[in-house]
């Protein structure tokens, strides 16, 4: 996997994870291109696009677009499952996750992602294990150090 | 006093800004506060602060001043600060920045931290942004963690190792042993990481791949366990046990089984089992099936298994889910060359996908349909393709038109069908066809003499109904100019004849001439066609004279020049007019390859815009070095021999080109058609060495013209490739080499290569030809020359 982007229907970026080193300017360009391309798609289109030498897998969940770029030899259908798994993890953690959760707790979204994927590959295939690890890390933060504010609403 | 908002309040404040300007104001204030906080001593709010900066960064604002803070936070003993610090490093730093070097030490320390979550942060960051130096530095530590730690750390270490190998290829060897032993682990996360690592190692190093082939039985066992096992709550996804791991194992098996019979055999049964037992009602099952199919098709699988795989793809084509249909087509496209018959069985479904709503699916269906056209299905396929062309999305039209032309050229069941098909495309999508379509079609029409009457009728009718499609109009004008007399005759065998007068025909051409829709090139065609009619009609020549005279002062320089020249033809050269404007002879193609090749297109662009050219000024096709070589070759013998450009001329030289650019263009462009076959002539062997034989036969075409046929044959046991012939003749002789039938000579005379050479010897000098033979056999290049001093005459 090369990168994962989350953006709203208005094209506002909510999360960006890059799995290969890319200069800042290039990242901005890619984000613009992805949002333009994906937002232009018809409602019941195929979830796969071709862009340069990559395959772009995208899926909309409520008001958020998840956009994952994979190499040509990777499995598109599995990539859809990867996106879905990440959404499930967020959902379990936040309880009926919505875009606002990810906006106000973006660092948590990253922490969860970092327990699921690593270096562009799947790190843990069990949902329960990922959830348990996040909870333990959170606990570590709370018990050992000062309290980091939980979602306030 | 500067506001200092906790993270979420800041986010709220930013979001409630009503304008970009307001937002910038909030951000500026916050950044100032953040900066101030960075400078202060440790106050317990550092992680909030950095988090705020990261949020601001995600909105697109600069945040580089936070880089050093990340470095400081990472070094903090507090977990909450480390966590945000590492996150910040991953977001703000990359390996190119100096600051990233500074965190190497922290990462190193944290890798051996007593708390696994701290270790995890270090591993995560290393795998995300570790530079080559960092990787080299920390590789031994990662290897240690691969062997002796808990599952949580092992699985992360494995992926770190993957990153390290990607950055520093030779470190692969270091991790191979540990990777091997990890396959024995039960933990799925670790197993997955091990499979990914092994895959990476095998892809990078063929020797490593050889060694890891031994793991095929182990991998098969693991897969079996996953496929057969009962419900496992921990890893179940819609009834499939750990599909992520299954897919990775299948991919590794693919790499290990490729080009290896033994390994492929060992996995055959397993693949059949997965293919048959995996539930395909949900996407996740189909993801596994898809990977299985890819593996089966890539390894040396049994034919039964291959058929099974292609059938799965066939089922995918019928799936309601568009995604599944799409990947079915991409997969089928990959194997349409190797498993053509198997894919043909699904042609009907593929053609149906041309009507799919989704543009991506349509594109795949088009590509696949074009690949499936054959001599047996050409008629029905073309119906579908033409239907598709009339309603397909704009971005696919050029591709569709081009594909249709190629298919028509290869498999046309009759000339008339071919012409009709091209005309249909021009009517539907004339604006999207390539430039060389016009001359190609003209050439086709010229050579189909029995259909001249039919064609000119069809085109005349097309012209009457619509003059907007430039390519169609150009061909129509040209045809009317050439064959207008057939229109006037009022009879036609193949189609309903028209009852027109000379004025009607001239009206049609004049409409094109005057229309604002006509491109300059099109008007050129119309004018020339009008002129040509002056020798084909009887009553209205004066009308033509006046049109030509009027355009003599046309603002368009091109038209003006033509008109002036045609005027001259009427006035000063009237005695030549009939000869100049006579019917075009059958045109012979002379450049290699099919239509639509790159070289033909370039040739068109060189000749456009329409310009009257002497038939001789044609593009030389041999590169300069070859020309020099031939000159060397011909060294100091009697007459200096001179190679001629490959594109010769067969039209007589004229003061005015009869068919504007069409004649000149056609000679430049066309390629691929075999010239009309000669009657058999006596052959003589001119070269026989190293198993390669070259025979020559010749036939007199005219008083000074001779056609020579060279035939090459290979009697050795190895195939010969890149077989080329070059020829040189005395200076006054004109030489024109036609395209050879091919450039490979299979072993033991299985096939021959023929090449024709047209010679023109107007000065009737002693005809000699030096031939240079070049080819490659068994990896080595060979070259030889032979001189032919006499030609057997027919």
pLDDT recorded at residue B175: 95
A32 Cα to chain B: minimum distance (Å)? 11
What pLDDT, on a 0 to 100 scale, did the predictor assign at position B141?
Answer: 95
Which tokens sit at B21?
Answer: 């300007």
pLDDT of B433: 83
pLDDT digits (tens, 9 = 90+) for B481-518: 999 888 888 888 888 888 888 888 999 999 999 999 89
User: A63: distance to nearest CA of chain B, Å?
Assistant: 16
Nearest CA in chain B to A5: B58
- Quick: pLDDT tens for B11-68: 999 999 999 899 999 999 999 988 888 888 666 678 888 999 999 999 989 998 899 8
Is-contact B84 B49, C-beta < 8 A?
no
CA distance A23 to chain B (A): 8
Question: Which residues of B are less than 8 Å from A140 in CB distance?
Answer: 79, 115, 117
Instruction: State how far residue B478 is from chain A, nearest Cα, in angstroms.
Output: 42
Which of chain A's residues have a Cβ under 8 Å away from the Cβ of B55? Answer: 106
Contacts 24+ apart (CB under 8 A), B304-313: B304/B272, B305/B268, B305/B271, B305/B272, B305/B275, B306/B339, B306/B342, B307/B342, B308/B272, B308/B275, B308/B276, B309/B275, B310/B335, B310/B339, B310/B342, B310/B343, B310/B345, B310/B346, B312/B275, B313/B346
Q: Give B291→chain A minimum CA distance, Å.
A: 7
**Beta-carbon separation of A129 and B189 below 8 A:** yes
CA distances, B354 to each of B72, B347, B371, B501 (Å): 59, 11, 14, 45
- Cα–Cα–Cα angle for B181, B201, A111, rounded to 5 degrees: 80
ipTM of this complex prediction, to 2 decimal places: 0.93
Between chains, do B358 and A45 touch, taking CB under 8 Å as contact?
A: yes
C-alpha angle B759-B765-B768 in degrees, rounded to nearest 5 = 60
pLDDT along chain B (794 residues), means of 10: 64 91 92 87 77 92 90 90 93 80 90 93 94 93 92 96 95 94 94 97 95 95 89 87 96 95 94 93 94 95 91 92 92 88 90 88 92 92 93 88 90 90 87 82 86 88 87 91 87 82 89 90 92 87 89 89 90 85 75 39 35 36 37 38 37 36 35 43 83 88 84 88 88 85 85 88 85 87 87 68
By CB atoms closer than 10 A (0-12, 13-18, 19+), residue B334 is middle
Tokens of residue B555, six digits: 């603002």
* DSSP secondary structure string for all residues of A93-119: HHTS--HHHHHHTHHHHHHHHHHHEET
Rounded Cα–Cα distance for residues A67 and B584 (Å): 60
Cα B238 to Cα B148: distance, rounded to the nearest angstrom: 34
Contact A145 B78 (CB under 8 A): yes
Separation CA B751–CA B309 (nearest Å): 36
Contact A122 B192 (CB under 8 A): yes
Pick from A118, A125, A148: which is nearest to B242 by CB?
A125
Q: What is the dihedral of CA B446, B447, B453, B457, to 10 degrees?
A: -60
Using CA atoms, how far apart are residues B511 and B513, in angstroms rounded to an integer? 5
Q: If you measure CA to CA, which chain A residue comes closest to B13?
A: A104
Stretch 531-590 of chain B: residues touching chain A, C-beta under 8 Å: none
Q: Are A45 and B358 in contact (CB under 8 A)?
A: yes
Residues within 8 A of A (CB atoms), B 209-238 only: 234-235, 237
Mean pLDDT throughout A49-71? 95
Residue A16 has pLDDT above 80, yes or no: yes
- The residues near B50 (Cβ < 8 Å, ≥ 6 apart) are B66, B69, B70, B73, B84, B85, B88
Q: What was the pLDDT predicted at B5?
A: 60
Contact flag A121-B162 (C-beta cutoff 8 Å): yes
**Per-residue confidence (pLDDT) for residue B719, from 0 to 100:** 87
Q: Where are the beta strands (DSSP E) in B703-768?
A: 705-714, 720-730, 734-737, 753-760
What does the pLDDT look like over A129-146, one tens digit per residue? 999 999 999 988 776 544
Residue B584 and residue B651: Cα distance in Å, rounded?
A: 9
Q: How far apart are CA A15 and CA B551, in angstroms?
A: 67
Question: What confidence score (pLDDT) does residue A101 get?
Answer: 93
Q: Please say whether the beta carbons of B712 and B752 come within 8 A.
A: yes
- At B681 the pLDDT is 60
pLDDT at B357: 84
Partner A, chain B 63-82, Cβ-Cβ below 8 Å: 78-81
- Alpha helix segments (H runs only) across B75-187: 79-92, 98-102, 104-111, 116-129, 132-147, 151-167, 172-182
- Using the Cβ of B8 and the Cβ atoms of chain A, whether some distance falls under 8 Å is answered with yes
Minimum CA–CA partner of B289 in chain A: A77
Residue B358 in tokens: 């989704």
Q: Is B13 on the interface with A (CB under 8 A)?
A: no
CB-based contact B94 A21, cutoff 8 Å = yes
Return the beta strands (E) in B331-461 as ranges.
none
Q: What is the pLDDT of residue B672?
A: 34
The alpha-carbon radius of gyration of chain B (Å, integer) is 37
Cα–Cα distance measured from residue B324 to residue B561, given in angstroms and rounded to the nearest whole number: 60
* B268's tokens: 């055959």
- Using CA atoms, how far apart are residues A42 and A48, in angstroms rounded to an integer? 12
Beta-bridge partners for A57? A48, A68
- Nearest Cα neighbor of B732 from B709, B704, B701 is B704
pLDDT in tens, A72-124: 999 999 999 999 999 999 999 999 999 999 999 999 999 999 999 999 999 99
CB-CB: which of A76, A104, A133 is closest to B327? Answer: A76
Rounded-to-integer distance, Cα B92 and Cα B62, Å: 10
Whether B27 and B14 have beta carbons less than 8 Å apart is answered as: yes
- Give the nearest partner residue to B326 out of A46, A129, A149, using CB atoms: A46
């Amino acid at each position: 996997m090369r990168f994962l982007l989350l953006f709203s229907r208005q094209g506002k970026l909510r999360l960006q994870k890059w799995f290969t080193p890319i200069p800042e300017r290039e990242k901005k360009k890619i984000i613009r291109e992805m949002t333009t391309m994906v937002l232009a798609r018809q409602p019941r289109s195929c979830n796969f696009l071709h862009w340069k030498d990559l395959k772009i897998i995208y899926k909309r969940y409520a008001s958020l677009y998840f956009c994952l770029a994979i190499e040509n030899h990777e499995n598109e259908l599995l990539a859809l499952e990867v996106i879905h798994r990440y959404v499930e993890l967020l959902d379990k953690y936040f309880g009926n996750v919505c875009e606002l959760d990810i906006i106000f707790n973006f660092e948590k979204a990253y922490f969860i992602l970092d327990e699921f994927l690593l270096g562009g590959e799947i790190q843990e295939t069990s949902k329960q294990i990922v959830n348990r690890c996040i909870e333990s890390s959170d606990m570590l933060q709370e018990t050992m150090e000062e309290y980091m504010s939980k979602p306030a609403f | 006093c500067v506001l200092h908002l906790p993270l979420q309040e800041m986010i709220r404040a930013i979001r409630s800004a009503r304008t970009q300007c307001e937002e910038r104001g909030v951000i500026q204030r916050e950044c100032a506060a953040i900066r101030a906080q960075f400078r202060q001593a440790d106050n317990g709010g550092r992680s909030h602060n950095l988090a705020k900066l990261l949020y601001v960064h995600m909105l697109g604002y600069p945040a580089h001043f936070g880089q050093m803070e990340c470095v400081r936070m990472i070094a903090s003993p507090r977990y909450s600060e480390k966590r945000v610090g590492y996150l910040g490093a991953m977001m703000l730093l990359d390996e190119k920045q100096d600051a990233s070097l500074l965190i190497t030490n922290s990462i190193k320390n944290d890798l051996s931290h007593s708390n696994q979550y701290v270790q995890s942060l270090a591993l995560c960051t290393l795998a995300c942004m570790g530079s080559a130096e960092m990787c080299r530095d920390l590789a031994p530590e990662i290897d240690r963690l691969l062997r002796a730690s808990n599952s949580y750390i092992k699985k992360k270490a494995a992926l770190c190792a993957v990153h390290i190998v990607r950055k520093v290829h030779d470190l692969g060897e270091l991790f191979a042993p540990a990777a091997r032993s990890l396959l024995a682990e039960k933990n799925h996360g670790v197993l997955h990481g091990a499979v990914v690592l092994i895959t990476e190692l095998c892809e990078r190093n063929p020797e490593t791949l050889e060694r890891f082939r031994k793991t095929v039985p182990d991998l098969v066992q693991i897969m079996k366990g996953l496929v057969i096992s009962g419900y496992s709550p921990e890893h179940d996804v819609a009834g499939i046990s750990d599909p992520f791991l299954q897919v990775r194992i299948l991919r590794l098996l693919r790499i290990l089984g490729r080009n290896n019979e033994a390994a492929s055999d060992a996995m055959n049964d397993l693949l059949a089992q997965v293919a048959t037992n995996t539930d395909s009602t949900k996407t996740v099952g189909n993801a596994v099936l898809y990977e299985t199919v890819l593996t089966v098709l890539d390894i040396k699988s049994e034919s039964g298994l291959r058929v099974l795989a292609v059938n799965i793809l066939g089922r995918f084509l019928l799936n309601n889910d568009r995604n599944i249909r799409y990947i079915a087509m991409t997969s089928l496209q990959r194997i349409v060359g190797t498993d053509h018959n198997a894919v043909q069985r699904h042609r009907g479904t593929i053609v149906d996908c041309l009507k799919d709503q989704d543009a991506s699916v349509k594109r795949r269906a088009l590509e696949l349909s074009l690949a499936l056209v054959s001599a047996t299905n050409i008629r029905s396929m073309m119906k579908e393709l033409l239907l598709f062309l009339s309603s397909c999305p704009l971005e696919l039209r050029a591709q569709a038109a081009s594909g249709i032309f190629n298919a028509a050229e290869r498999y046309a069941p009759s000339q008339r069908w071919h012409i009709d098909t091209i005309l249909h495309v021009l009517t539907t999508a004339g604006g999207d066809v390539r430039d060389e379509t016009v001359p190609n079609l003209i050439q086709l029409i010229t050579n189909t003499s029995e259909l001249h009457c039919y064609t000119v009728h069809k085109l005349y009718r097309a012209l009457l109904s619509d003059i907007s499609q430039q390519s169609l109009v150009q061909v129509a004008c040209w045809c009317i100019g050439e064959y207008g007399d057939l229109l006037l005759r009022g009879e036609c065998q193949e189609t309903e004849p028209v009852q027109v007068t000379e004025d009607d025909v001239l009206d049609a051409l004049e409409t094109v001439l005057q229309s604002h829709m006509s491109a300059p090139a099109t008007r050129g065609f119309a004018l020339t066609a009008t002129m040509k009619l002056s020798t084909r009609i009887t009553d209205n020549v004066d009308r033509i004279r006046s049109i030509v005279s009027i355009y003599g002062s046309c603002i368009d320089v091109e038209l003006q020049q033509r008109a002036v020249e045609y005027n001259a033809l009427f006035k000063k050269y009237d005695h030549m007019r009939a000869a100049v404007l006579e019917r075009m002879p059958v045109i012979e193609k002379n450049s290699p390859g099919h239509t639509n090749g790159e070289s033909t297109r370039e040739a068109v662009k060189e000749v456009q815009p329409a310009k009257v050219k002497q038939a001789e000024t044609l593009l030389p096709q041999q590169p300069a070095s070859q020309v020099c070589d031939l000159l060397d070759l011909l060294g100091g013998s009697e007459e200096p021999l001179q190679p001629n450009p490959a594109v010769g001329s067969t039209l007589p030289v004229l003061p005015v080109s009869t068919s504007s650019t069409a004649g000149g263009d056609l000679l430049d462009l066309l390629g691929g058609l075999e010239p009309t076959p000669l009657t058999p002539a006596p052959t003589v062997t001119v070269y026989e060495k190293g198993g390669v034989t070259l025979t020559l036969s010749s036939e007199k075409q005219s008083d000074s013209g001779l056609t020579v046929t060279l035939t090459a044959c290979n009697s050795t046991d190895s195939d010969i490739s890149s077989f080329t012939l070059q020829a040189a003749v005395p200076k006054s002789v004109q030489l024109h080499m036609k395209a050879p039938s091919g450039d490979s000579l299979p072993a033991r005379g299985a096939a021959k290569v023929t090449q024709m050479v047209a010679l023109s010897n107007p000065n009737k000098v002693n005809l000699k030809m030096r031939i240079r033979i070049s080819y490659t056999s068994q990896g080595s290049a060979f070259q030889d020359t032979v001189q032919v001093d006499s030609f057997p005459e027919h």
